[in-house]
Amino acid sequence: MFIVETKDIPLRTLLYVLLILIIFIVNIFVAKLSSTTTSEDLQALFSEHGSVSSAKVIMDKETGNSKCFGFVEMEDETEGFNAINALNETEFQGRKIVVKKARPREEGGDDRGQRFPRERRFNSNR
């Protein structure tokens, strides 16, 4: 990651650079991790395949335990796809991991509450 003094750079140029960075960053989903795998472990694993801008193991909010999956962002598209191909279904910390391109999050969160049409939802007042 790099830091640039931006006060003398036109806004249009900054937006263009940001757009380029967004287009080429690859967000990678990593599943079936060991419960002891840390974000630093993921960072180190993927760094062997290129420049990693972030790595995070997802933790349960209530228990603080690992959910055994995480996300890695790689700055270069080619390096990201090479990492996916090299690491998918390989053993890492005693577990066979699944590595694939992350799907974009859908608007509105998850589908809880959408399984039944509004008029068919259960109502205890009836």
pLDDT the model gives residue 105: 76
What residues does each domain of the chain span? 24-102
Handedness of CA 63, 64, 70, 76 (dihedral sign): positive
DSSP labels, 38-106:
-HHHHHHHHHTTS-EEEEEEEE-TTT--EEEEEEEEES-HHHHHHHHHHHTT-EETTEE-EEEEPPPPP
Which has more confidence, 57 or 107? 57
Indicate the pLDDT class of residue 42, thresholds 50, 70 and 90: very high
Mean pLDDT of all residues in 109-114: 54
Q: Tell me the pLDDT of the chain averaged across its residues.
A: 84
Indicate the pLDDT class of residue 111, thresholds 50, 70 and 90: low
Indicate the pLDDT class of residue 16, thresholds 50, 70 and 90: confident
Mean pLDDT of all residues in 109-125: 53
| Amino acid at residue number 8 | D
Handedness of CA 83, 44, 74, 95 (dihedral sign): positive
Helical (H) or strand (E) element with 27: strand 26-31
Regarding the domain delimited by 24-102, which CATH topology (the fold level of the hierarchy) does it fall under? Alpha-Beta Plaits (3.30.70)
Answer whether 73's CB lies under 8 Å from 35's CB.
no
Tokens 């053993």 sit on residue: 91
Mean pLDDT of all residues in 56-79: 96
